[in-house]
Amino acid sequence: MPHKVDFVRVTNLKKIRVNPKEWVNPLFVEYGLALHNVTPAYFWRVVGTEHTFIIAISRLEFLSSGEYANHFQEALEGFREDYLEWKDSGFQTDWQREYRDEYSRFILV
């Protein structure tokens, strides 16, 4: 289900260009720091969307070795695969339709 976070509470906000396969390019991700429950985490989203991805700082460091753009690209490529499955099944749930409405202009099908 989509997470929507008010980025006013996100600190150290940055923007980075990413190039995930089969997405409209250029594509920009904005990301920053906030607490997720009690865990320090990065909150990130595609610029122009409201859905927010959340990943613990320690997990992102482990997965990316500091190369955040690579992680964002890989995550978005995986998300696209999920999106295509939802599309093939007709976006059956409200939350799938929310994703469709937000990402249809970014994901190439």
pLDDT in tens, 40-99: 999 999 999 999 999 999 999 999 988 999 999 999 999 999 999 999 999 999 999 999
Mean pLDDT of 6-23: 95
Would you state the pLDDT for residue 41?
96
* pLDDT at residue 26 is higher than 80: yes
> How many residues make up the chain in this entry?
109
* pLDDT at residue 1 is higher than 90: no
Would you state the pLDDT for residue 66?
87
Q: What are phi and psi of 46, to 5 degrees?
A: -70, 130
pTM for the model = 0.92
Determine contact, residues 107/22, Cβ cutoff 8 Å: yes
